[in-house]
Structure formats: structure tokens, C-alpha cells
């Protein structure tokens, strides 16, 4: 669940803490570019766009999860989900340095794609790999990973950790760590038996 359901929970909760800092960043960037302060309505609109565009990315990720999991297998599809995750972390983490709030919007789309892919394939992969007696218990771990992700996002957003004006880009790029952790560990995991048998016709590998 580290690179699957956890990523979804993390991104859902992590956006709440830096709200005022990102709004200030949008205001400052707009003033530097156009020489005039944006209206409060425009700031609110941009912020709403940053928050809600995650769902669009999630939809795109969810729609492509089925194809990728059949085309490449559950394990490889989970590994591919880390590409948009790392891309989103880079975009959002460097947005302040580059003076571009559009990078936050793009980063949120990519993080949504990762969340949509990870959440769907995580459930599929865990359920198919689990022994029959433990299948129900293993399936519940996805919900547990979402809850842990939300808690970690909340904890990182505290003022004592990363929830301050100077560190909000690092907070927004916090999904780097679970993505790297999964990239390092998941290759050692087995492929889904169902994928090997039904999609690859590899009965020996399935057994």
C-alpha cells in the first residue's frame, strides 16, 4: 500500500495545511508578472482549481488502471504509477523557485493520476496475491494505507514539521519518499498469479 492507497490518502490531506501560503504565492507571482494585485475572487478561483484538479487526474489514472494492469501486469503497473508521482513532486517542489503557480496545478494533476492508478491497482494486486484464507484481511489493508496516508499528511502539515511558509514546497513534494521506497522494494515482489495465468497464459509461473 505504500505506493498505492497511501499515496492517495497523503495527497488528499496534505493540501489543507499550505492553503494560505500558496494563496500568498499566487498573489506575489501575479503581482510580479502583471504589475497589479489579483482580486480575492481570482485567488479563490485559482486555489479551488488547484484543489479540485486532483480529481481530474484521479479520473484519468482510474480509467487507465485496467489497461495498464492487463498490458504490463499488476506489479509493473504499480511501478509505472510512481512516474507521475515523482513528476508531480518535482513540479510542486520547484514551483516557488521557478515562480510558477501553474506548476502546482500540473503537479496536482500528475499526483491525481498516481492516486487513481495506485488505489485501483493496489486493491487488484493485493487481492490477487493474497492466500484465500487471508484475502479479506489483505483487502482491508488498502483502507488502512489510505488512513495512514491521511494521518501522515496531517502530521507533516503541522507548523512544527513542514507547515510553515518557508517549507511548503517540501511539504507538497512529500510523495517522493513513498514513491522511491516502492521503486526500491516492489521489484522483489512476485507477479499476480491471476495475471500470469489468464493474461500471460503462464500456468507454470502461476503455480
Neighbour count for residue 33 (Cβ, 10 Å): 11
More confident residue, 33 or 139: 33
Write down the pLDDT at residue 80.
95
Of the candidates 29, 174, 172, which has an alpha carbon nearest to the alpha carbon of residue 100? 29
| Residue tagged 517549507 (cell numbers) | 167
Cell numbers for 51, please give them. 484543489
**pLDDT for 106-151, tens place per residue?**
999 999 999 999 999 998 999 899 888 998 888 889 899 999 999 9
Please give the share of the chain, as a percent, with pLDDT higher than 70.
100
pLDDT at 184 over 90: yes
Residue-level pLDDT at 135: 86
- Report pLDDT for 4: 86
Q: Is the pLDDT of residue 2 over 90?
A: no
pLDDT in tens, 156-172: 999 889 999 999 999 99
Q: Which domains does the chain have, with CATH numbers?
A: 2-200 (1.20.1250.20)
Q: Looking at residue 1, what is its pLDDT?
A: 86
Q: How high is the pLDDT of residue 153?
A: 94
Measured CA to CA, the distance from residue 113 to residue 64 in angstroms comes to 9
Q: What is the mean pLDDT of residues 64-75?
A: 94
How much of the chain, in percent, has pLDDT values that exceed 90? Answer: 82
pLDDT, tens digit, 9 for 90 and up, residues 75-114? 999 999 999 999 999 999 999 999 999 999 999 999 999 9
What mean pLDDT is predicted for residues 176-193? 94
Q: Do 107 and 91 meet the contact criterion of CB atoms below 8 Å apart?
A: yes
Q: What average pLDDT does the structure give for the chain?
A: 93
Amino acid at each position: 500500500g505504500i505506493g498505492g492507497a497511501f499515496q492517495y490518502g497523503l495527497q488528499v490531506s496534505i493540501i489543507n495545511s499550505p492553503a494560505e501560503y500558496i494563496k500568498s504565492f499566487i498573489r506575489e507571482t501575479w503581482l510580479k508578472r502583471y504589475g497589479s494585485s489579483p482580486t480575492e475572487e481570482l485567488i479563490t478561483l485559482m486555489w479551488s482549481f488547484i484543489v479540485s484538479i486532483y480529481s481530474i487526474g484521479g479520473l484519468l489514472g482510474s480509467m487507465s488502471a485496467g489497461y495498464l494492469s492487463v498490458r504490463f501486469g499488476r506489479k509493473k503497473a504499480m511501478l509505472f504509477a510512481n512516474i507521475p508521482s515523482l513528476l508531480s513532486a518535482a513540479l510542486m517542489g520547484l514551483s516557488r523557485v521557478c515562480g510558477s503557480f501553474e506548476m502546482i496545478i500540473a503537479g496536482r494533476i500528475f499526483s491525481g493520476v498516481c492516486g487513481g492508478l495506485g488505489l485501483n491497482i493496489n486493491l487488484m494486486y493485493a487481492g490477487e496475491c493474497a492466500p484465500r484464507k487471508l484475502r479479506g484481511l489483505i483487502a482491508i489493508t488498502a483502507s488502512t494505507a489510505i488512513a495512514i496516508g491521511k494521518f501522515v499528511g496531517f502530521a507533516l502539515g503541522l507548523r512544527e514539521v513542514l507547515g510553515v511558509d518557508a517549507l511548503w514546497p517540501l511539504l507538497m513534494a512529500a510523495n517522493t519518499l513513498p514513491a522511491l521506497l516502492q521503486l526500491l522494494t516492489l521489484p522483489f515482489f512476485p507477479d499476480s498469479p491471476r495475471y500470469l495465468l489468464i493474461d500471460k497464459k503462464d500456468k507454470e509461473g502461476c503455480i
